[in-house]
Amino acid sequence: MRKTCVVFTGLVISLTSLFQLSAITVLSHICLGIMCITFTLRLYYKLLELLRWNPGIHPFQSYLDYDSSLTDKETVMLVEEVVLLIAFAVSEIKRLLFIDNMIDSIKFVVLLYLLTYVGIVTNGLTLVIAAVIAVFSLPLLYKKQQVRIRRAARTIRAFVKRIKKLFLSLYETVRPSAAPAPAPPAIPAPKQKAKSK
């Protein structure tokens, strides 16, 4: 719980400060704040070592010993995942923009239209802050209101299913019927030779 509070508070304060300051300034101030704490602790432990009250233990040795480097195999796997994700995103956007499926493209158009209104009302930073708050608060809300949320989700799912059926039936009535396939040419029956008597 304490770690979650520290991470949540740090993220919200950092993102909120981006409204007034640039990202470089915020990052520099965060690093300076961390270094003020670590530098003070390091000097304190060094002083204790000089006074022979401490056997020379580095206060951050566990962080320094932690190996965060990637092996060649992990690097290849990570790059493959990123490349696959980018390729999937490009193919999906291409499919939606050039109308491979009419229904999916209509959904995409509606989403883009709604995003224009969202862009007028808020900016990207506000949405990021709202997403961070949602990520930290939604699990607790779901845990406390699980029954109501499931009931609401079932109702919304049924409503979406009805709307989808309505649109599909409208699409089927508007869609032109396929031209009948031409009948295959009739093959004349082979003539049988008359038997001579």
Whether residue 129 contacts residue 16, with contact meaning beta carbons closer than 8 Å, is answered with yes
Whether residue 101 contacts residue 95, with contact meaning beta carbons closer than 8 Å, is answered with yes
The per-residue pLDDT for 85 is 94
Q: Is residue 181 scored above 70 in pLDDT?
A: no
Q: Is residue 13 scored above 70 in pLDDT?
A: yes
Q: What does the pLDDT average to over 37-42?
A: 90
> What residue type is 74 in one-letter code?
E
Cα 154 from chain centroid?
23
Q: Is residue 185 scored above 70 in pLDDT?
A: no
The per-residue pLDDT for 197 is 46
User: Read out DSSP for 97-149?
Assistant: HTTSSHHHHHHHHHHHHHHHHHHHH--HHHHHHHHHHHHHHHHHHHHHSHHHH
Q: What does the pLDDT average to over 170-178?
A: 72
Name the band, by pLDDT with cuts 50, 70 and 90, for residue 157. Answer: very high
Tell me which DSSP letter residue 58 carries. Answer: -
Number of Cα atoms under 13 Å in the Cβ half of residue 148: 5
Domain ranges of the chain: 1-68, 72-121
Q: Is residue 78 scored above 60 in pLDDT?
A: yes
Backbone angles phi, psi at 148, to 5 degrees: -65, -40
Say whether pTM exceeds 0.85: no
Kindly report the average pLDDT of the chain as a whole number: 82
The pLDDT tens digits of the residues spanning 99-128 come to 888 888 888 899 888 888 887 877 778 888
Q: What does the pLDDT average to over 66-84?
A: 86
Of 12, 9, 44, 1, the residue nearest 131 (C-alpha) = 12
